């Protein structure tokens, strides 16, 4: 959780001179096979949003992306994209490798924060 706190501090510091208030919401989901998924959401008063999650002891920063239903966050990276989808109490994480032939792979599914 300390690493997520560092990410939050970096987000706050990068806001420049016009800083918005940020609501920080840590959530722990329990996924298939009792695998924990720690996610921290950062919601600014200007409507922008970001998240950070720990997957396999790796901190992944995500930006909010358009979603037809629920919420969707995506990482940006040269090797591929992590995708966090959440609706209500439920979530899932997938990974899309770069390249034309790549297909999205579920990493964590059936996650619930209840």
**pLDDT the model gives residue 97:** 86
The residues, ordered by sequence, that sit 6+ positions from 65 with a Cβ below 8 Å of its Cβ are 72, 73, 74, 83
pLDDT tens, position by position, 9-47: 444 444 444 566 899 999 999 999 999 999 999 999 988
Segment (H or E) for 101 = none
> Which CATH number, 1.20.58.480, 1.10.3720.10, 2.40.128.200, 2.40.40.20, labels domain 2-14+21-112?
2.40.128.200
3-state secondary structure of 70: coil
Percent of the chain residues past pLDDT 90, beyond the cut: 59
For the chain, domain boundaries: 2-14+21-112
Q: What is the pLDDT of residues 54-92, one digit of tens each?
A: 998 899 999 999 988 889 999 987 888 999 999 999 999
- Pairwise CA distance, residues 108 & 11, whole Å: 26
List, in order, residues 6 or more apart from 104 with CB less than 8 Å away.
83, 94, 95, 96
| Residue 64 · residue 50 · CB < 8 Å | yes
What global pTM score does this model have?
A: 0.79
Residue 27: the pLDDT is: 95
């Amino acid at each position: 959780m300390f690493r997520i706190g560092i990410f939050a501090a970096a987000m706050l510091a990068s806001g420049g001179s016009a800083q918005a208030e940020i609501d920080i919401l840590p959530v722990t989901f329990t996924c298939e096979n009792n695998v924990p998924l720690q996610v921290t959401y950062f919601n600014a008063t200007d409507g922008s949003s970001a998240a950070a999650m720990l997957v396999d002891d790796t901190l992944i920063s995500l930006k909010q992306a358009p979603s037809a239903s629920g919420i969707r966050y995506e990482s940006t990276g040269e090797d591929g994209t992590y995708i966090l989808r959440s609706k209500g109490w439920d979530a899932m994480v997938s990974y899309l490798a770069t390249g034309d032939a790549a297909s999205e792979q579920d990493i964590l599914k059936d996650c619930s924060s209840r």
